[in-house]
C-alpha cells in the first residue's frame, strides 16, 4: 500500500513538472521570438525560471535554436527534465517538452 501511494505521489509530481516544462517552453519561445532577444538570453531566462519553480531535483535543461529557412525565421525551444523515481516506478524516461515561435518581423 505504501509503494502504491508513493507511486501515485510520484506520478502527480512528475505530471506537475511536465506541465511547468511545457509552459516554460512556450513562454521561452515567445520571448526569444521578440525582435530584441536572442537564443542565449532566452536560454538563461528559461533555466532561471525552471530552477526557481522546480529546484535542482529535476536537473532542468533548456536549448533554444534559431532556424532560418526560405519560409522565415523560427525559434525552437526544448526543455528537458529528469523525472523523480518514487514508488514502484524505478525507471522513467526524461521529460522533454518543446515549443516553436515565429520570429517577430523586423524592418
Q: In what order do the strands lie in the sheet with 72-81?
A: 61-69, 72-81, 95-102
Query: What domains does the chain contain, in order, with CATH numbers?
Result: 2-102 (3.30.1300)
In this predicted structure, what is the pLDDT of residue 31?
A: 94
In this predicted structure, what is the pLDDT of residue 107?
A: 46
pLDDT (tens digit, 9 = 90+) per residue, 15-61?
999 999 999 999 999 999 987 788 899 999 999 999 999 877 888 99
- What DSSP state is assigned to residue 87? T
- Provide the total of helices (H) and of strands (E) in the chain, helices listed first: 2, 3
DSSP secondary structure string for all residues of 11-58: HHHHHHHHHHHHHHHHHHHHHHTSTT--HHHHHHHHHHHHHHHH-GGG
Report residue 71's pLDDT band, with 50, 70 and 90 as the boundaries.
confident
Cα four-point dihedral sign 45, 49, 50, 52: positive
Question: Grid coordinates 514502484 are at which residue?
Answer: 88
Q: 76 - beta bridge partners? A: 65, 100
Helix (H) or strand (E) holding 92: none
Average pLDDT, the chain: 87
Query: Does residue 107 or residue 28 have the better pLDDT?
Result: 28
Amino acid at each position: 500500500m505504501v509503494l502504491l501511494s508513493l507511486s501515485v505521489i510520484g506520478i502527480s509530481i512528475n505530471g506537475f513538472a511536465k506541465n511547468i516544462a511545457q509552459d516554460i517552453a512556450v513562454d521561452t519561445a515567445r520571448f526569444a521570438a521578440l525582435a530584441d532577444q536572442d537564443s542565449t538570453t532566452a536560454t538563461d531566462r528559461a533555466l532561471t525560471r525552471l530552477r526557481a519553480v522546480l529546484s535542482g531535483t529535476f536537473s532542468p535543461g533548456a536549448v533554444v535554436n534559431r532556424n532560418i529557412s526560405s519560409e522565415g525565421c523560427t525559434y525552437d525551444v526544448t526543455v528537458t527534465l529528469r523525472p523523480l523515481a518514487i514508488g514502484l516506478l524505478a525507471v522513467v524516461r526524461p521529460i522533454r517538452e518543446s515549443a516553436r515561435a515565429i520570429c517577430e518581423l523586423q524592418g
